[in-house]
Amino acid sequence: MDARDVIKVGMSAERTLIVPPERTVGHFVKHMPMVYATPMMILEMEMTSGDAINRYLAPGWVTVGTEVDIRHLAATPVGATVRTTAKVIAVERRVIRFEVEAFDDKRRIGEGRHARGLVNVEAFTKRLGAG
């Protein structure tokens, strides 16, 4: 599968999340503040990127995260609503590149770039020896 045949620059998606305690840095690291953890924000950015393109992929194909270049700009407390956006900015044969952002009720809390690689699930599973 060639991503350029089905994925177009400008495709986008948006997700919202109410920050739960289990997605805070304090949940993972004792004595740290109960604020939205950077890895959890990146997870939402990756999932939002997938949401922008998943429905266009041929059966048996998925994308996996391959690159992140993210800045976490502001702390967000438990209970706050976070809105994450992703927009396709470039499409290569097997790589889709995104601009990603995250916002809370007051400001932008994260921004950056993310890339996803196109993978055939069956071939990938065989390579791992799990098929």
Annotated catalytic sites, by residue?
38, 46, 72
44 C-beta neighbours (distance < 10 Å), count: 21
CB contact at 8 A, 116 and 68: no
CB contact at 8 A, 97 and 118: no
The span from the CA of 102 to the CA of 100, in Å, is 7
The span from the CA of 111 to the CA of 70, in Å, is 6
The span from the CA of 45 to the CA of 59, in Å, is 23
Joined together, the tokens standing for residue 111 give 């921004």
Rg (CA), the chain: 16
